[in-house]
Amino acid sequence: MSTVPSTVRTWSARPLSASEWAQAERVAQRLTVELRRLIDALPEHARHASGMSRHLNVLRATCQRVVQAVQEEPDSPSMLAKLPGVEGMRQFLDGFRQTEVDGADVEAAQSAVEGLERLITAVGGSQAKLIERLNLSPTIRAGAAPALATTDQRAALFNAAAAVTGRSCEVALSVYAFRIDPDSPTTMQRALVKGMFGATVVPGGVPMILASGDTVKGDDEVRRVMQLNRGAMRGRTPEAILRPFTTDPLPMVTSRNRSGTLYQVIDPAAAAAPADGDEAGAAVDQRLDVTTALLASHPMYEAQTGLPTLNAVWSLVSCPTARLIFDVYLHADMERLFRPSIDALLWSASLDVPEDDKWVMRLPAQPRLHLLGRGLAQAASELYPRHVELTKYFFDHIEWNPEDFVGFRCEVLYPVWRAGYCMGMEYLGQPHKG
């Protein structure tokens, strides 16, 4: 009787694909948020491995691995290699169920662990195989998902959004500058210039609006938004326009400041005469450049927490845009207190997004944050040839010395329409004691 030799299948590890890496990154981001929330809810003595082990009645080694993962490799797929196995994570969460920690937070963390379990099943069947594939995967893939939000796909969204809304612009820019009021150390001053270049609105299209999101809240006695000539930013505001960077004849700008957001409606009818052959007053496609600027004052610190009111700065893609430049300048006295970061997020009605909730809104392909350094030596941008000129004019106009400021930049080709590019400001200091 003849026999057929059996074929022995062996496991051959391979790097994670781009989509698998992106999935692992999302799992890691959610686990980081949920586990940190649980740890922060423990008494201070129970937030390190030994105290946590005693408080939760969970093995010290399990607690040590969780603490190391969220501290040393937050948000990175590499953290998944540091965590205990799925069963160890379940035991870790069971320990929290015996404490005063909010049960809903424990269940949210349980859901994140189940996401890890699904990832393990999908990429190898065991945590050891997941770790092996992670080790073979180049870390430069972090944040990349070539199958999602490529430049070509974002360009297609730009063209489709322009066709749907009837408006678009070639370049949108925002330049923010923040400093502590020299005459009041508890007041923060904010200056902002916004521009749209090569903007077009076809007849019947969505109105042209420059929106400036503001998550800083405070008493009206302290919180003031005004034109550069210190006039009110409400109603017809021609002084809000930076004339050298705006189409001549000037468009009409009408400003409304409501619910923490400034809306500046641009009336392009004043920006161009009818083309030859058109009847007077006939609707025509109009292409224009418009740049506006404002000054504002805010409380520097929240009264209840003593923490800075500056926690995020936004650039909202409300108009289909081909190129985005988003600069933030912090005075040197403030810059040492903050660690900036950048996120591309789905834009919700509220811009005050808690750090724990960002993973829900974060888009697959993330931009990069560039350090411009001190002054304007690195302020040039290939996306807009006059950017250095505009930025210098802006600082001169508000009479602030740019050499006193440190700049940070996010640049994007075809930014995602209706996304918000959010520069987070992690505070590194101690709460202010008033």
pLDDT 10s digits, 256-270: 555 555 555 666 554
pLDDT 10s digits, 147-176: 578 888 999 999 999 999 999 999 999 999
Distance separating alpha carbons of residues 421 and 242, to the nearest angstrom: 24
Q: Among the listed ranges 16-20, 400-404, 421-425, which one has the minimum average pLDDT value?
A: 16-20
* Sequence-ordered list of residues with C-beta below 8 angstroms from that of 140, at least 6 positions apart, any chain: none
pLDDT 10s digits, 49-66: 999 999 999 999 999 999
Enclosing H/E stretch for 136: helix 127-136
pLDDT 10s digits, 73-123: 887 888 999 999 999 999 999 999 999 999 888 988 998 899 899 999 988
Which three-class secondary structure state does DSSP give residue 353? coil
Confidence of residue 38 (pLDDT cuts 50, 70, 90): very high
Residue 49 CA neighbour count, 13 Å, CB half:
13
Confidence of residue 366 (pLDDT cuts 50, 70, 90): confident
Q: State the pTM of this model.
A: 0.68
Confidence of residue 396 (pLDDT cuts 50, 70, 90): very high
Average pLDDT of span 239-265: 67
pLDDT 10s digits, 277-311: 444 443 445 688 988 888 888 899 988 889 999 99
Distance separating alpha carbons of residues 89 and 114, to the nearest angstrom: 10
- Per-residue pLDDT at 183 exceeds 70: yes
Confidence of residue 325 (pLDDT cuts 50, 70, 90): very high
